[in-house]
Structure 1
Amino acid sequence: MIDPTLLRDNPDLIRQSLQARGGEIEAVDRAIVADDARRAAITEFETLRGEQNLFGKKVAAAKGEEKSALVADAKALAEKVKAAQANLQEAEANAKKALYALPNLVSEGVPAGGEENFHTLKTVGDKPSFDFPVRDHLDLAEALGIIDMDRGAKVSGSRFYFLVGAGALLENALMQRAIQLAVGEGFQLMMPPTLVRPEVMQGTGFLGEHASEVYYLPHDELYLTGTSEVALAGYHSDEIIDLSAGPLRYAGLSTCYRREAGSHGRDVRGIIRVHQFQKLEMFSYTSQGDAEAEHERLLGWQEQLLGELGLHYRVIDVAAGDLGSSAARKYDIEAWIASQGDYRELTSTSNCTTFQARRLGTRHRVEPDGNTEAVATLNGTLATTRWIVALLETHQQPDGSIRVPESLQPFVGQDTIRARGDQ
């Protein structure tokens, strides 16, 4: 959530951020009214509690008929205190709801507008060119026998699939190479749970406008995560962590689940948009002053891996209206997909500033006074199943085989993926 002090001291800044996102400006006014009501309820409750304490001392000192009369008055005052406490609880719940409805403040320089208003920051490498007819990733994969969509649908329904043989090895190779890179840069490898409690999912901001994409198990009151960002953000909830030696960095390897509820009819072919996939997610806890620099570091590691895989890509500064509620700024890296003649998102990295940490109660001590403040949290995908799409299409050969990038060859066990009969 945003800093409540900012709501009182500079609500126009929040309004400007909401306007850039294309959000409802009136949400700020509702939050101010709710916060005012909460503070008034606190004052009323504390005043009555103070009166009750003083009255209690008066009753204790009284005797006889005077005491009997005061006891009756004390009971009436107790009822007022009880009512004021109930009013305070309701006011706090309303204020929290109104505050949680406000997305993170957009960072300075983020382009305003919707999905199409992004800014291209850089384009890297040359677009792959072919002197033979380009085939899409599914056509290539099915001919090689490494992706089976039909049996995936038979077993689990649409948007599910089997990775087979070299397809499974290729996904594993991506994860293993990403792990090598992350651990080498000081990330601690984590295998996090993929089911989390509602307060953790809510704390990370995933139960807002994209709640329909989240799988929920009502009998267990648990959510299936679409990214290990959720579990890693909850890892240090309600803790004071030590950042004196620099950021705490974790790399979470997990299976991820998304309902893709808002994507009917989009990318139904192949594995671009599916319900289940593997992902290695980088997650950083750092000080507020270091957050922007850490964001650039995460982007750099993503580019390093994409570059060694020989992919042509561009980096975009995502427009405010296309940011998730938790992100103050997000960079997407989009790779060139030859069969579509267009760029498609492969990975992203977000600076969530203190938004998630305030909700989850994660703080650190600030020297020299030792006071605590909310940390900043950042996330970025280092590898995911969708990268297979770009790898297959970029490195396809005239005979339908796939050249394996050098850094993945030790994990795949071959330099070229061919159909079984051609090996």
Structure 2
Amino acid sequence: MEGYFLGGFWMLDIKMIRQNESDVKARLATRGVKAELIDQLLAADQQRRDLVVKSETLRQQRNEVSEQIAQAKRNKKTADEEIARMKQVGQQIKQIEEKLKEVQVKVQDWAARLPNLPNPTIPVGPDESYNVEIKKIGTPKEFTFKPKPHWEIGEKLGILDFERGAKVSGSRFLYYVGLGAKLERAVYNFMLDEHEKEGYTEILPPYLVNAASMYGTGQFPKFKEDVFQIQDQDLTLIPTAEVPLTNYYRDEVIPTEKLPVYFTALSPSFRSEAGSAGRDTRGLIRLHQFNKVEMVKYCRPETSYDELEKMTINAGNILEKLGLPYHIITLSTGDMGFSAAMTHDLEVWIPAQNTYREISSCSNCEDFQARRAHIQYRDEKGKLNFVHTLNGSGLAVGRTVAAILENYQNEDGTVTVPEVLRPYMHGVDLIE
């Protein structure tokens, strides 16, 4: 099968790359991929294809010689020359197969490090300064006092304990205490209930996954430094529930009538935050461990961009019901995640910083992850196709708590509980 080797499919369709080389180079250049890498990949792939042809030709020759030997034996004739020739052909096949394995490993390694092709409609640029705002929802509150940062509010109320978190685990860890823990629980239970209303099936996934799962969603091999791995075992603490949710159907064919599939899950997320030294060293914005409610979809290719818009609305629905101002931006080619073809970020208003901060990324990965994880469906004509996968935060729970503490703070240091959360807080309407 074209595009199938080493037990896996190509991450990007190699036939498509060969047929659209200039376009692929131009689009991946906007993501920082040099044309030389594409040239090397295509040259190595040509070498691989040539070796496959040579191997198949020699196998055919060996079969013919084998038949000649059998014929000679039936006629009670000697076949020493044919036997020597078959041994020689067998040795050639062995040498070619060994070379083929080397080339395949090289090709797979290069291909695995190529990011997804960006959708042609998204903004082109090297970083976040090229992101484009789509919509702004809600008006930031005008305080009659200087708003405090959420970590200061939480510490004074005794509901966030960063000092003991650092003592027990290290920096970027904390304890939620009393009404802080209850608020966190209220937030994620509210999110899960809302997503259930929107048709998502709740999943409680594993928090440790194998390397094949990390590879399937695009975290491996390129981003191993960003995660926590279990020493001497093929297990990694999940950086997001996207990984176990997307791998749920790995190596499977999803019945067409099941599509689209919507999953949601609450899970802890574990991140090493490599490269983030000095950024958001205080508070709930950038932690090594945090809770997140994730949304994942599997769908047919022709509906995936409609599903992306729906997913973005689902995430925004949470913020609107919580009364938190936010805006939606489309990420540029240089700011987008490795596996995404298009990403809409939702950024919530953080009063103490006087700016919007990311609280959700909703991405359409098209068939990029499905190719890596071998997730297919069979269409009406019986043909196997790759599904499109989407994922989004619905939402990052700690950042939601931070936004609530800052947007609902009062001058006396108390925090008003958003109305939709009060039933989850057993009627508590004020944290004091």
State the match for 1:331 in structure 2: 344
How far is the alpha carbon of 1:61 from its aligned partner? 1.4
Q: Structure 1 residue aligned with 2:66, among 56, 60, 67? A: 56
State the match for 1:68 in structure 2: 80
Which residues of 2 match residues 9-24 of structure 1 at below 5 A?
A: 9-24=19-34
8 Å contact kept, 2:314–2:394: yes
State the match for 2:407 in structure 1: 394
Which digits, 9 at most, give the CA deviation of each residue in 1:211-270, with x for residues without a partner?
311111131121111101011111101110023253111112211100001100100011
Q: Distance in 1 between matches of 2:31 and 2:105?
A: 26
State the match for 1:2 in structure 2: 12
8 Å contact kept, 1:400–1:418: no
Which residues of 2 match residues 131-210 of structure 1 at below 5 A?
A: 131-210=144-223
Q: Structure 2 residue aligned with 1:233, among 222, 234, 246? A: 246
SS in 2 for 1:216: coil
How far is the alpha carbon of 1:80 from its aligned partner? 0.9
Q: CA RMSD in A?
A: 1.3
8 Å contact kept, 1:166–1:417: no
Q: Distance in 2 between matches of 1:133 and 1:296?
A: 36
Which digits, 9 at most, give the CA deviation of each residue in 1:303-361, with x for residues without a partner?
11100111111100011111111000111111111111111111111100000000110
State the match for 1:302 in structure 2: 315
Which residues of 2 match residues 15-414 of structure 1 at below 5 A?
A: 15-63=25-73, 66-113=78-125, 114-367=127-380, 369-383=381-395, 384-414=397-427
Q: Distance in 2 between matches of 1:385 and 1:138?
A: 11
Q: Distance in 1 between matches of 2:270 and 2:45?
A: 36
8 Å contact kept, 1:335–1:346: yes
State the match for 2:5 in structure 1: none
8 Å contact kept, 2:192–2:202: yes
Q: Distance in 2 between matches of 1:111 and 1:262?
A: 25
Identity of aligned residues (%): 37
How far is the alpha carbon of 1:92 from its aligned partner? 2.1
Runs of 4+ aligned structure 1 residues displaced above 6 Å come to: none
Farther off after superposition, 88-97 or 393-402: 88-97
Q: 1:411 to 1:49 in 2, by over 3 A?
A: same
SS in 2 for 1:381: strand
Q: Distance in 1 between matches of 2:231 and 2:305?
A: 38
Q: Distance in 1 between matches of 2:55 and 2:174?
A: 58
How far is the alpha carbon of 1:101 from its aligned partner? 2.1
Which digits, 9 at most, give the CA deviation of each residue in 1:108-157, with x for residues without a partner?
21111112110000111111111022111011001111100000000000
8 Å contact kept, 1:200–1:230: yes
Which digits, 9 at most, give the CA deviation of each residue in 1:382-411, with x for residues without a partner?
122211111100000111111111111111
How far is the alpha carbon of 1:65 from its aligned partner? 6.7
Farther off after superposition, 396-405 or 208-217: 208-217
The code of the aligned residue for 2:344 comes to: Y
Which digits, 9 at most, give the CA deviation of each residue in 1:269-305, with x for residues without a partner?
1111000011110000001111100000000011111
Q: Distance in 2 between matches of 1:42 and 1:101?
A: 24
How far is the alpha carbon of 1:96 from its aligned partner? 1.7
8 Å contact kept, 1:41–1:91: no
The code of the aligned residue for 2:426 comes to: G
8 Å contact kept, 1:27–1:101: no
How far is the alpha carbon of 1:182 from its aligned partner? 1.2
SS in 1 for 2:30: helix
Q: Distance in 2 between matches of 1:200 and 1:245?
A: 22
Q: Distance in 1 between matches of 2:182 and 2:60?
A: 69
The code of the aligned residue for 2:391 comes to: N
How far is the alpha carbon of 1:91 from its aligned partner? 2.2
Q: Which runs of 5 or more residues in structure 1 are unaligned?
A: none
SS in 2 for 1:321: coil
Farther off after superposition, 215-224 or 341-350: 215-224
8 Å contact kept, 1:208–1:325: no
TM-score by length of 1: 0.96
Which digits, 9 at most, give the CA deviation of each residue in 1:155-194, with x for residues without a partner?
0000000011111111111111111111111111101111
How far is the alpha carbon of 1:13 from its aligned partner? 1.9
Which digits, 9 at most, give the CA deviation of each residue in 1:5-59, with x for residues without a partner?
2111101221121122233222211111121111111101101111111111111
8 Å contact kept, 1:243–1:286: no
